[in-house]
Amino acid sequence: MFVHLGGDENSKPTYFEVIAADRLVPSLKAAVVYALSVFSQRHPWVHRLLNHDDEVFALIALALDGHSLLTSDSTFADSLYGLLLRPLRPVAQDAPGRLTRRQRWLILICKVILPYLRSKADKAFRRSSAASGGVLALALRYGTGQSSPTSDAGRTSHSGGRGEFEDAGSGLWWRQLERAFLAVYPWLHAVMEGTAFAYQLSYLLGASPVHDPVLHALRVCVARISAKDLMDAEKAKQVRRQTLLQALLTAATAATAGAAAGGGGTAPGPVGLRPVQISYSEPRHHRHLGLRVLLPVRFQLRHAARPLPRFSPACGIRSCTEVVRGGLTVFALVLCIR
């Protein structure tokens, strides 16, 4: 949480708080697309990601919102503004209710799938309307009988064989579907925007406890996070870290015992950790930087035949990979300990 606009845990979030949380994800998407466009100028393979920006951001939103919902009762944007999601009708009257597992999954699906489908529909509408010269030009062309799909299909069926007739039939069906989409989507878009505006206005005037029709359909509202919720979240985070660290140490101890039993030797250190020297050297300038860390024995056994060499500019890609792999392992251990 890095933004708090005032108010206590018993008061309803203000209109500006909920709207700022809703606008954060579209702003993040614009930033991701801009970053991809900048990187694509120097790395051509990024163009593939830029061509599928909706899918890339959907995966990012799935990871962020999924982690936030599975660890707390809020989305990624809501958690940054000190907000969380509560059921409209809590089970207990003396304490606020918590989201069920089904509600978390439904919220995650709606937060990821609905913006993705809407973005795809907007792009398809702009592409189709630009190709046809706009909705008005499409209606005028087909209304006056100039180059109508029916006449095109008739000429194709008289001049060609059965295969050409089937191609004309499929083309006719696709053009009719495109015409229907161009005619219906503006009205559908207006209905969605009008419904969202009505909910936001009702929330601003205090007539509705929900500012979003999707949340209303899921029977969920937005509330402020309390001090007790923050303490519970911090306690749960510490429990998860301790569990992960204990599992890592248990696996390392088991690997140490297996190696000692198989090789007939003794364990190389306490709790299955062995010191490893990771060094960086430049022979030309006579510089040497060493780092002594503790890595699990499983990592040592896996790379026993290939010890970490001293890294120099002439070592090549293999030594770089080994150093990066060791650094990532050290970083994971630091996160677990914290």
One-character DSSP codes across 278-332: EEEEETTTTEEEEEEEEEEHHHHHHTSSSPPPPB-TTS-HHHHHHHHHHHHHHHH
- pLDDT of 278: 46
Give the residue, 259 or 69, on which the prediction is more confident: 69
CA–CA separation, 328 and 92 (whole Å) = 45
pLDDT at 188 over 90: yes
Q: How do residues 321-336 score in pLDDT, each as one tens digit? A: 555 556 656 555 555 5
One-character DSSP codes across 25-60: HHHHHHHHHHHHHHHHTT-TTHHHHHHTHHHHHHHH
Q: What is the DSSP letter of 16?
A: H
Q: What is the DSSP letter of 148?
A: -
Q: What is the mean pLDDT of residues 306-332?
A: 51
CA–CA separation, 46 and 69 (whole Å) = 30
Q: How do residues 54-65 score in pLDDT, each as one tens digit? A: 999 999 999 999
Structure tokens at 301: 């056994």
Q: How do residues 108-139 score in pLDDT, each as one tens digit? A: 999 999 999 999 999 989 888 887 665 555 45
CA–CA separation, 223 and 203 (whole Å) = 13
Please count the CA atoms within 13 angstroms of the CA of 181 that sit on its side-chain side.
17
- pLDDT of 23: 92
Tokens 């010191």 — which residue? 275
Q: What is the mean pLDDT of residues 230-248?
A: 79
Per-domain residue ranges of the chain: 15-225, 234-337
How big is the CA angle at 111 (ends 75 and 205), to the nearest 5 degrees?
75
Lowest mean pLDDT among 74-83, 237-246, 275-284: 275-284
